[in-house]
Amino acid sequence: MNTCTTQKDCEICPLLVGQTAADDNVILQTERWVAVLDRNQCYLGKSFITLRQHKETLSDLDEADWMELHQVIRQLEQAVKEAFGADVCNWECLMNNAVKAGRPTHIHWHLHPRYLGGTTFTGEEFPDPKWPRHLENAVHMVGDETFREIMQALRSRLTRA
């Protein structure tokens, strides 16, 4: 399934063209949205949820976009909480970097699961020292094996949903 429509000069659109649910970083893909796991796991389960059609502002979303996004949010939050024990899931939709660079914006969300006291997954610690404040410029790059295990933990819970 790939119903992505693109916009010239958008930095996000080229990432979506040809993307499929079988890609190594795709957690969940629907007709309108795709969720991918971020390599930077400063928050265990940190992901991007992107509209597959190029729309630049939240006011451009139609009712079907919002309804499907709601289902994606519910599924992802449940999977993250079950897989890793997240206390809360924070969502951001900023798009400041595109505006600053003079490029078109593209609707996408950042999912930041938060953990009171941090958490451990497969023996690796994922601290959350600034809970409940936002971690600025935090970096916790994970290796290939940990990345695959995080993906498996999320995907296995989504298939049960």
Catalytic residue set: 110
Contacting residues for 78 by C-beta, under 8 A, at least 6 apart: 157, 161
Q: How far is CA 77 from the centre of its chain?
A: 11
Compute the residue count for the chain: 161
Under 8 Å between Cβ of 48 and 109: yes
What distance in Å separates the CA atoms of residue 136 and residue 21, rounded to the nearest whole number? 30
